[in-house]
Chains A and B, each alone.
Chain A
Amino acid sequence: MTSTSATDTAVPPPTTGVQKHRALSDRAIINLFIWPTLIILIAFNVFPLFYSLFLSFTDYSAIAGRPPVWVGFDNFNRVLFSEDMWRAFTITGRYVLFSVALELVLGFALALLIREQFRGSGIVTTLILIPMMLSPVVVGLFWKLIYTPTFGYFNYLIGFRNPTVAPDWLASRFAGQPMPGLALWAVIIVDVWMWTPFIALLIYSGLRAIPDYLYEAAVIDRASSWFQFRRITLPQVMPLMLIAVLFRTIEAFTKSFDLVMGMTGGGPGGQTEVVAVKIYQQAFLGQFQTGRASAFAYMVLIIVIAISNLYIRNLNKMRED
Chain B
Amino acid sequence: MKHTVGKYILGFLVLFLVVTLIACSGGSSQTTSPTATSGAAAPAATTAPETAPQSNVRELTIFWAQWDPADYLQELVKDYEAETGIKVNVIQEPWGSFGDVFFAEMAAQGTSYDMVIGDSQWLGQATTQGHYVNLTDFMNSENLTNSVTEATLTYYGEYPPGSGTYWAFPTEGDANGWAYRKDLFENPEEMAAFEEEYGYPLAPPTTMAQLMDIAKFFTRPEQGLYGSAIYTQADYDGLTMGFQNMLFSFGGDWSDANFNPEGVINSPESVAALEFYKELYECCQPPGMSNAFFAEVNDAFISGQAAMGMNYFAFFPALANPQVNPYAESTGYFVNPAGPSGDHFASLGGQGISIISYISPERQQAAREFIRWFGQNDIQAKWAALGGYSANREVLASDEFLAVAPFNAAFAETMQIVKDFYNIPVYGELLRVSQDEMGRYVVGGEGTAQQVLDAIAAKHAEILKDGGFLDQ
Which A residues are in CB contact (< 8 Å) with B428?
Answer: 285-288
Query: Within 8 Å of chain B (Cβ to Cβ): is A163?
Result: yes
Query: Within 8 Å of chain B (Cβ to Cβ): is A205?
Result: no
Query: Would you call A270 and B28 a contact (CB within 8 A)?
Result: no
Which A residues are in CB contact (< 8 Å) with B130?
Answer: 65
Query: Within 8 Å of chain B (Cβ to Cβ): is A149?
Result: yes
20 further contact pairs, Cβ within 8 A, besides A178-B446, A269-B441: A42-B12, A63-B125, A64-B107, A147-B288, A148-B288, A150-B288, A168-B287, A171-B287, A173-B290, A176-B282, A265-B291, A266-B234, A268-B232, A269-B443, A269-B446, A273-B436, A281-B432, A285-B432, A286-B427, A289-B429
Which B residues are in CB contact (< 8 Å) with A118?
Answer: none
Q: Which of B97-122 contact A (CB under 8 A)?
A: 99-100, 103-104, 106-107, 109, 121
* Given A54-B24, A286-B99: A67 and B33 interface contact (C-beta under 8 Å): yes
Q: Which of A14-37 contact B (CB under 8 A)?
A: 30, 34
Chain B min CB distance to A249 (Å): 25
Query: Within 8 Å of chain A (Cβ to Cβ): is B468?
Result: no
Whole-angstrom distance between the alpha carbons of A54 and B155 in the complex? 38
Chain A min CB distance to B134 (Å): 17
Which B residues are in CB contact (< 8 Å) with A281?
Answer: 235, 432
Chain B min CB distance to A293 (Å): 12
Query: Within 8 Å of chain A (Cβ to Cβ): is B8?
Result: yes
Which A residues are in CB contact (< 8 Å) with B234?
Answer: 264-270
Whole-angstrom distance between the alpha carbons of A286 and B121 in the complex? 10
Whole-angstrom distance between the alpha carbons of A189 and B463 in the complex? 37
Whole-angstrom distance between the alpha carbons of A70 and B374 in the complex? 46
Interface string of A281-321 (1 = CB under 8 A from B): 10011111100000000000000000000000000000000
Query: Within 8 Å of chain B (Cβ to Cβ): is A172?
Result: yes
Specify which of A63, A164, A170, A178 is in contact with B291 (CB 8 Å cutoff): A170
Interface string of A70-103 (1 = CB under 8 A from B): 1000000000000010000000000000000000
Residue among A47, A65, A147, A285 having the largest count of chain B Cβ atoms under 10 Å: A65
Consensus secondary structure, chain A interface? loop
Query: Within 8 Å of chain B (Cβ to Cβ): is A62?
Result: yes
Query: Within 8 Å of chain A (Cβ to Cβ): is B233?
Result: yes
Query: Within 8 Å of chain A (Cβ to Cβ): is B20?
Result: yes
Interface string of A116-159 (1 = CB under 8 A from B): 00000000000000000000000000000001111010000000
* Given A268-B443, A286-B431: A150 and B286 interface contact (C-beta under 8 Å): yes
Whole-angstrom distance between the alpha carbons of A81 and B286 in the complex? 38
Q: Which of A192-249 contact B (CB under 8 A)?
A: none
Query: Within 8 Å of chain A (Cβ to Cβ): is B57?
Result: no
Chain A min CB distance to B104 (Å): 6
Whole-angstrom distance between the alpha carbons of A271 and B288 in the complex? 16
Query: Within 8 Å of chain A (Cβ to Cβ): is B444?
Result: yes
Q: Which of A164-190 contact B (CB under 8 A)?
A: 164, 166, 168, 170-173, 176-178, 180, 183
Closest A-B pairs by Cβ, 5 of them: A269-B444, A178-B445, A286-B428, A267-B234, A171-B290
Query: Would you call B8 and A34 a contact (CB within 8 A)?
Result: yes
Query: Within 8 Å of chain A (Cβ to Cβ): is B236?
Result: yes
Query: Would you call A64 and B37 a contact (CB within 8 A)?
Result: yes
Query: Would you call A70 and B37 a contact (CB within 8 A)?
Result: no
Chain A min CB distance to B33 (Å): 4
Specify which of A38, A150, A267, A285 is in contact with B9 (CB 8 Å cutoff): A38
Query: Would you call A271 and B20 a contact (CB within 8 A)?
Result: no
Which B residues are in CB contact (< 8 Å) with A66?
Answer: 30, 33, 37
Residue among A66, A69, A168, A172 having the largest count of chain B Cβ atoms under 10 Å: A66
Total A-B residue contacts, Cβ distance less than 8 Å: 165
Specify which of A163, A171, A266, A288 is in contact with B235 (CB 8 Å cutoff): A266
Whole-angstrom distance between the alpha carbons of A267 and B291 in the complex? 7
Chain B min CB distance to A316 (Å): 24
Which A residues are in CB contact (< 8 Å) with B286?
Answer: 150
Which B residues are in CB contact (< 8 Å) with A178?
Answer: 444-446
* Given A47-B16, A171-B288, A171-B290: A261 and B439 interface contact (C-beta under 8 Å): no
Query: Would you call B440 and A270 a contact (CB within 8 A)?
Result: yes
Q: How large is the interface on A (under 10, 10 to 19, 20 to 34, 35 or more residues)?
A: 35 or more
Query: Would you call A150 and B287 a contact (CB within 8 A)?
Result: yes
Which A residues are in CB contact (< 8 Å) with B287?
Answer: 148-150, 163-164, 166, 168, 171
Query: Would you call A150 and B224 a contact (CB within 8 A)?
Result: yes
Chain A min CB distance to B9 (Å): 7
Which A residues are in CB contact (< 8 Å) with B289?
Answer: 171
Whole-angstrom distance between the alpha carbons of A81 and B232 in the complex? 29
* Given A30-B5, A171-B443, A180-B444: A267 and B290 interface contact (C-beta under 8 Å): yes
Whole-angstrom distance between the alpha carbons of A152 and B436 in the complex? 27
User: Across the two chains, which residue of chain A brings its CB closest to B293?
Assistant: A265
Whole-angstrom distance between the alpha carbons of A70 and B24 in the complex? 11
Which A residues are in CB contact (< 8 Å) with B236?
Answer: 285-286
Which A residues are in CB contact (< 8 Å) with B427?
Answer: 286
Q: Which of A46-60 contact B (CB under 8 A)?
A: 46-47, 50-51, 54
Which B residues are in CB contact (< 8 Å) with A84?
Answer: 436
Which A residues are in CB contact (< 8 Å) with B23?
Answer: 51
Q: Which of B166-195 contact A (CB under 8 A)?
A: none
Whole-angstrom distance between the alpha carbons of A289 and B433 in the complex? 14
Whole-angstrom distance between the alpha carbons of A271 and B236 in the complex? 16
Query: Within 8 Å of chain A (Cβ to Cβ): is B305?
Result: yes
Which A residues are in CB contact (< 8 Å) with B28?
Answer: 67-70
Residue among A173, A180, A266, A270 having the largest count of chain B Cβ atoms under 10 Å: A270
Query: Would you call B288 and A149 a contact (CB within 8 A)?
Result: yes
Which B residues are in CB contact (< 8 Å) with A287?
Answer: 428-429, 432
Chain A min CB distance to B286 (Å): 7
Query: Would you call A62 and B288 a contact (CB within 8 A)?
Result: no
Whole-angstrom distance between the alpha carbons of A168 and B445 in the complex? 13
User: Across the two chains, which residue of chain B brings its CB closest to A270?
Assistant: B436
Whole-angstrom distance between the alpha carbons of A273 and B233 in the complex? 14
Query: Would you call B107 and A63 a contact (CB within 8 A)?
Result: yes
Chain B min CB distance to A154 (Å): 11
